[in-house]
């Protein structure tokens, strides 16, 4: 096909690898920080904890956007029909993986009393939407993505019912963190409202065209990415200064300058506000442009993770939760303490954990431990033709 890439786009793997490493910090903090369960990490009074949490805001938007770019790249090897089927299957597979693999990795609860639907669920639903839209002209997909991206915060001004059709709206568009009962002593926790994220994925799919070597030179691509990234940052700053649209909670002057800055950049992720998406995707687009011309030991290191994002995501969660089990028993807890009604995670009592510096040490340990398994799995993907590997 015209413009078909002959190899992986290294800059995408580098950025994804960096984001994977940052993402791990948030998950380790969730499980190991002493106050992860009883304090808001974005409280202005604790800048280190704030930035430890805040920097990980870049993860989900990057994953979703690059999933869209990857979908476009995958389409260069397939017909429209093949791409549509692939995206539909992969979307359902990601939702299934979220329910079966990730819910257990989060909770270690073999009874699956709590199903947790987060980023894989959001990407899965978004891919199903894209799988249905790939038949439309590229401009139509771009327009739909832009309308969702810039317009989804209009729902902030609408009173959505808590019953009937309002439940669907809350799950898909406006809500997050809601618990929805499913039978007796079982329910689902919806962490990500998928429609806003679908807008990000559709724009990522549109941006994938920039990697068509028959249409755009590398210099043109870098220029467009830089301008788009700078524009997103500008939009974030302007909207945040106006303080009227783009985020459900306005920022406000605090007791000191640092806290005021923290209030300004403390945008809503659940669901992702326009301010949040511009704040995070702007720098990522600029990084994608800049990193194309960088090759060194660091980029070679992070690329190992960026080539196998799904594998890393699943396995590192099981590793982190296994480490919690070890720390749980090493700290003197017993089998009777495995379930804490104040915590949704087995082996993770509400008031259990360590200070932030130990969290950082465990984070680095997890990242390094995952290096060789990622190299092995990437080698498996590149040498074996097993069909299921295309869905990982």
pTM passes above 0.75 = yes
State residue 294's pLDDT score. 94
State residue 178's pLDDT score. 81
Structure tokens at 224: 């467009």
State residue 6's pLDDT score. 44
Long-range contacts of 243-247 (CB under 8 A, 24+ apart): 245/153, 245/274, 246/153, 246/273, 246/274, 246/275, 246/278, 247/153, 247/273, 247/274, 247/275, 247/276
Q: How confident is the model at residue 185 (pLDDT cuts 50, 70, 90)?
A: confident
Mean pLDDT of the chain: 94
Lowest average pLDDT, out of 161-170, 205-214, 278-287, 360-369, goes to 161-170
> What average pLDDT score do residues 95-113 get?
96
pLDDT digits (tens, 9 = 90+) for 299-350: 999 999 999 999 999 999 999 999 999 999 999 999 999 999 889 999 999 9
State residue 7's pLDDT score. 55
- Which residues share a beta bridge with 188? 115, 180
| Count of beta carbons in the 10 Å neighbourhood of residue 283 | 16
Residue 2 confidence (pLDDT) above 50: no
> What average pLDDT score do residues 69-92 get?
95
> What average pLDDT score do residues 128-147 get?
98
String of b and e for 148-163 (b: at least 16 CB within 10 Å)?
Answer: bbbebbebbeeeeeee
pLDDT digits (tens, 9 = 90+) for 215-231: 999 999 999 999 999 99
- Measured over the CA atoms of residue 115, residue 59, residue 205 and residue 151, the dihedral's sign is positive
Residue 64 confidence (pLDDT) above 70: yes
Residue 1 confidence (pLDDT) above 70: no
> What average pLDDT score do residues 64-81 get?
95
State residue 243's pLDDT score. 96
Distance of alpha carbon 204 from alpha carbon 142, whole angstroms: 9
Asked if 312 and 20 count as a contact pair (C-beta separation under 8 A), the reply is yes
State residue 177's pLDDT score. 65
Q: How confident is the model at residue 175 (pLDDT cuts 50, 70, 90)?
A: confident
State residue 135's pLDDT score. 96
State residue 316's pLDDT score. 98
- Between 170 and 349, the more confident residue is 349
pLDDT digits (tens, 9 = 90+) for 256-266: 999 999 999 99
Q: How confident is the model at residue 368 (pLDDT cuts 50, 70, 90)?
A: very high
């Amino acid at each position: 096909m015209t413009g078909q890439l002959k190899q992986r786009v290294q800059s995408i793997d580098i950025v994804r690898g960096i984001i994977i490493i940052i993402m791990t910090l948030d998950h380790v903090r969730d499980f190991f920080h002493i106050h992860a369960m009883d304090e808001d990490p974005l409280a202005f009074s604790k800048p280190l904890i704030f930035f430890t949490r805040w920097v990980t805001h870049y993860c989900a938007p990057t994953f979703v956007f690059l999933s869209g770019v990857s979908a476009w790249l995958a389409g260069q090897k397939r017909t429209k029909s093949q791409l549509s089927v692939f995206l539909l299957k992969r979307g359902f597979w990601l939702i299934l993986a979220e329910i079966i693999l990730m819910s257990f990795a989060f909770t270690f609860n073999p009874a699956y009393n709590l199903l947790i639907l987060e980023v894989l669920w959001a990407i899965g639903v978004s891919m199903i939407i894209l799988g249905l839209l790939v038949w439309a002209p590229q401009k139509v997909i771009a327009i739909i993505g832009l309308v969702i991206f810039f317009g989804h915060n209009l729902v902030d001004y609408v009173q959505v019912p808590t019953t009937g059709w309002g439940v669907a709206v809350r799950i898909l568009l406006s809500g997050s963190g809601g618990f929805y009962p499913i039978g007796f002593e079982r329910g689902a926790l919806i962490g990500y409202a998928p429609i806003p994220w679908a807008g990000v994925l559709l724009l990522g799919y549109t941006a994938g065209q920039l990697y068509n070597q028959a249409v755009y030179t590398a210099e043109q691509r870098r220029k467009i990415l830089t301008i788009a990234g700078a524009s997103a940052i500008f939009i974030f700053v302007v909207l945040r200064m106006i303080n009227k649209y783009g985020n459900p909670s306005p920022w406000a002057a605090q007791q000191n300058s640092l806290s005021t800055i923290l209030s300004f950049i403390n945008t809503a992720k659940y669901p992702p506000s326009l301010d949040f998406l511009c704040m995070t995707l702007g720098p990522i687009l600029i990084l994608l442009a800049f990193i194309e011309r960088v090759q060194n030991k660091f980029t070679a290191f992070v690329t190992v993770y960026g080539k196998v994002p799904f594998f890393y995501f699943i396995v590192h969660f099981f590793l982190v939760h296994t480490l919690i089990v070890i720390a749980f028993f090493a700290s003197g807890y017993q089998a009777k303490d495995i379930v804490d009604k104040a915590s949704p995670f087995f082996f993770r009592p509400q008031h259990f954990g360590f200070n932030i510096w130990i969290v950082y040490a465990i984070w680095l340990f997890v990242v390094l431990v995952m290096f060789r398994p990622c190299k092995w799995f990437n080698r498996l993907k590149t040498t074996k033709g097993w069909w299921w590997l295309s869905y990982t």
